[in-house]
Structure formats: C-alpha cells, structure tokens
Chain A
C-alpha cells in the first residue's frame, strides 16, 4: 500500500550536514522513506539520531544537503500551511487569547472573519477547549496549551501534521490522555501524522509504523509495522512483546552511540 504512486511523503537518499568548523557534522545520512496518505508514523531514537533534523526538513524549516524530499509529488522548498508543525513548547502567542491563537492561521490564509471564527470554534470543540476560548495561554495547563496548538493546526485543515515531541514536557497522566485524544482526532480526520518522540511506549501506542533511528550519523536503523488490534492495550501481551523487541534494538543503538561518542571525545 506504500507504493510510489500513493506515497504522500517520499524521501530518497536524504542527507543533512550542518556547517561546522573543519568538516561539517553529518546530522542525517541517506534516509529513504515513504509515508502513505493518512498514515500515523512515529520516529523514535536516542538524541543525536537526527529525528528532529528529519522533521525540520519535512516541515521545510531546513533544506536537505542531498537527496529528494517530496510531499504530494512536489519538492519541499519551505514551510507550507498545508503541513503544520506542532512544537514541544507549543508556540502559542501569549498576548493572544486561545480563540485568537486559533484564528491566527485562518486569518493568515485570508479566511473571512465570520467563517474563520466558526472554524476556530469548531477546532476548539474538537479538542474540548471551546469553553477556554477567551482565556490566555498563561491561564492554561501544559496539556491544555498543547491541545490549543493542535486546534490551531487542525483549524486550517492541513493534510499533514508534523509533531516534534509534542507531549514530552507533560506529566505521565496528561500524556496518556493526549495520546488517546490524538488517536481519536486522527481517526476522525485521517490526517497524515509524522510524530517524533524519544518514548518507545508512545511510539508503539500511536504508530502504525515505528521508525527506529540511530545516531552518528543519523540514519534509519529499522522500520517496524505495529499490527496490534485497536484500541491498543498498553498493558497487553503483544504490546509488551513489541516493546521488548524494540527496546533491545534501541538499547543496542544507544550503546553504539555511547561508544562512538566516547571514542570521538
């Protein structure tokens, strides 16, 4: 089903070097990946594996040093309102109310005022925060802020959501709640979602596929199809088996990374 014709996102030999003193550091090396429309895919790996670099390339905030990077058959040349990024630190504007934050994207697109307001309120409804429309971000908890950021993204009806460790700063209960919320929204909207995390459980719980990445240089180590019955049971036997399998590989990758960094120091 991930054939060349139907691929929403296609990476072919994508690499990224950052200019540093002497020879540039290779953040990402020869990444090949195809992501289908409507897929929820998780990128997971230890720090230095290039997962954040990869999502920044996908969202158009950085340009690849080599290779082909296409979404909908067009090369990614910059940020695009059809591909919205969700950040770990929310990126909400503190001087705007929740409603005006959500309106920002719609107004930037030139949606007429009345229509934009309706769409913004609908998006807030979807994340269960319509009642908080007139509050300011500083009055909200971290989990609520991230839901507002998700509402702001969904309001412009993007075909792709990039999520860069969006729940990493939240406490465990809020995180689990928001993971379920995200799955509910994804099933309703069928938006393509690329989700970066360093939490294996999160990746296995959310992803249809989990891309395990390895560092020095950043690369794809392994791609795992998660075929678990829905809704997934975090405490189920199969979940534990996949977790164990992935954890062993993750551990191996982590160990390699440490060895490399010790040698290079």
Chain B
C-alpha cells in the first residue's frame, strides 16, 4: 500500500506530534512564552506573512545559502579533481586538510567577523566553510576510486588528457561526488542559522536571535519550523538534480 506508507503514515506522524505538543501546552504547566503552543506559532506565521518579513527573510537566507554553497562547490570540485589526480600534491595537503576539517565553522566566527566585517559576507563565508570539506573530500575520494580498468582502457585507445578527465574520470566519479554534494547541503544548511547570528539584520537565523531578544518564543518556533521545511525542500531538489544529471550522463 504505497499511499498508506507514503502519505497517510507521515501525515499521522505530524498530526500526533502537533496534538501532543498542543496537549502539553494546554496543561498550562508552563507559560506561553516558555512553551509556545502550536496555535501561537501558526499565528506567528500569519503575522510574519502579513508584515512581509517571512518572504524577505526566507529569500535572503536562501540567497546567502546559494552563494556560500555555490562558491564551495565551485572551488572544491575542481580542487578535488586536481588533488585526486595528483597523488603527490594530495599527500602534501592531506594532513593539513585533516587538521582543518574537524574545526567547526563556528570556531572561525571571530576571525570571519574581523576579516569580512558585517553584512552578507560573514554568513556566506560560514556556509562556504561548512560545505567545502564534504565536497572536497568526497571528490578526492571519488577520483581516487575510479576503477583502474577504465583508465587502462582510456590509455589504450589513446584518449587525450582532456578526454580522460571529462569522459572517464568525471562521469566515473560522479555518483560519489554527488553523495558529497548531498551531504554538504545538509551540513551547510545547519550552519545557515549560525552564520546569520553574526552581523546581519535579516534572514531566518536573525529571526530566531531577534525573536529571542524580544521574548517572542512563538516566532523562534516559526524560524525553526521554516528552516526545517526549507531544508527538506532543498534536499529533495538536490535529489532531483542528481537524477537529472545522471540521465544526462546516461547513467542507470
């Protein structure tokens, strides 16, 4: 029963969650500002929709996210292809990357704000850092995992270096690179909020911080719900994109 599994069960999961949330709030153990009930959150959404902030903040956040993630992919994929091919270079840089990679993007906050001031740039840089390593490392691993027999076949037929790169290595590595792109979406989206707590006065992360400062916990919840929903939508879009590219590449 696909409709049962795909539609009815997830919907009932949401419904039960919201009912339980409402039930706990209705007990009145906590005041509304400590534990905002779902109705207050719904009203908050309407309030922000009317005021126009909802659309504004969402668009701003999405643009920052696209800029940071896009820049990370733009730098990390070509760099990963290079490092995957040049074993010597990779051995020189691998330890450095292994040291930098586990550092949370948040640790870069002080330097990022000193270097990039206020405005969009610090948030974009934080998202960039979050997305950069998963994309880079999966690209390097993907290139190094390309089956030796493909490279032998290409060399045997006298394929040019460009041919080997574009017609053998990139498509052979693509499925694993796509996994990295996908993981990086998740990682970078998580740090969107953190990035927007820094020197900006717009966006969904700012909405949460600003609402906390005004004790509007209902609007904090609105921010959380929106970020979660948008994260889901982006993830699904990436999956579609992945399938589309695979079709272009004539992959099964």
Q: Is the CB of A95 within 8 A of B155?
A: no
- Report A-chain residues with C-beta under 8 Å of the C-beta of B172: 93, 95
A-B contact pairs, 13 of them (CB 8 A): A61-B155, A79-B152, A79-B158, A87-B149, A96-B171, A104-B153, A104-B157, A108-B157, A109-B157, A109-B158, A136-B250, A136-B252, A156-B157
- Report B-chain residues with C-beta under 8 Å of the C-beta of A136: 250-252
Shortest CB–CB separation between residue A255 and chain B, in angstroms? 33
Q: Give the bracket for the number of chain B residues in contact with chain A.
A: 20 to 34
Shortest CB–CB separation between residue B199 and chain A, in angstroms? 44
Which 10 A-B residue pairings sit nearest by Cβ, starting from the closest? A105-B157, A108-B159, A81-B158, A95-B251, A91-B149, A91-B153, A95-B171, A108-B157, A79-B156, A79-B155
Q: Is the CB of B150 within 8 A of A93?
A: yes
Residue in B158, B249, B252 whose CB lies within 8 Å of A80: B158
Shortest CB–CB separation between residue B154 and chain A, in angstroms? 7
Interface residues of B (CB under 8 A from A): 149-150, 152-160, 163, 167-168, 171-172, 174, 249-252
Instruction: Given A91-B150, A94-B252, A95-B249, check contact A85 B171 (CB 8 Å).
Output: no
**Does A100 lie at the interface of the complex (its beta carbon under 8 Å from any beta carbon of B)?**
yes
Interface residues of A (CB under 8 A from B): 59, 61, 78-81, 83-85, 87, 89, 91, 93-97, 100, 104-105, 107-109, 136, 138-139, 156
How distant is the Cα of A104 from the Cα of B159 in the complex, in angstroms? Answer: 9
- Report A-chain residues with C-beta under 8 Å of the C-beta of B155: 61, 78-79
Q: Is the CB of A81 within 8 A of B150?
A: no
How distant is the Cα of A136 from the Cα of B174 in the complex, in angstroms? Answer: 17
Residue in B154, B156, B250, B251 whose CB lies within 8 Å of A59: B156
How distant is the Cα of A70 from the Cα of B168 in the complex, in angstroms? Answer: 30
- Report A-chain residues with C-beta under 8 Å of the C-beta of B251: 94-95, 136
- Report B-chain residues with C-beta under 8 Å of the C-beta of A79: 152, 155-156, 158
- Report B-chain residues with C-beta under 8 Å of the C-beta of A97: 250
How distant is the Cα of A137 from the Cα of B249 in the complex, in angstroms? Answer: 14
Q: Is the CB of B154 within 8 A of A96?
A: no
Q: Is the CB of A85 within 8 A of B152?
A: yes
Shortest CB–CB separation between residue B90 and chain A, in angstroms? 22
- Report B-chain residues with C-beta under 8 Å of the C-beta of A85: 152-153, 156
- Report A-chain residues with C-beta under 8 Å of the C-beta of B150: 91, 93
- The closest CB in chain B to the CB of A83 belongs to B156
- Report A-chain residues with C-beta under 8 Å of the C-beta of B171: 93, 95-96
How distant is the Cα of A94 from the Cα of B103 in the complex, in angstroms? Answer: 38
- Report B-chain residues with C-beta under 8 Å of the C-beta of A80: 156, 158
- The closest CB in chain B to the CB of A104 belongs to B157
Residue in B149, B160, B167 whose CB lies within 8 Å of A104: B167
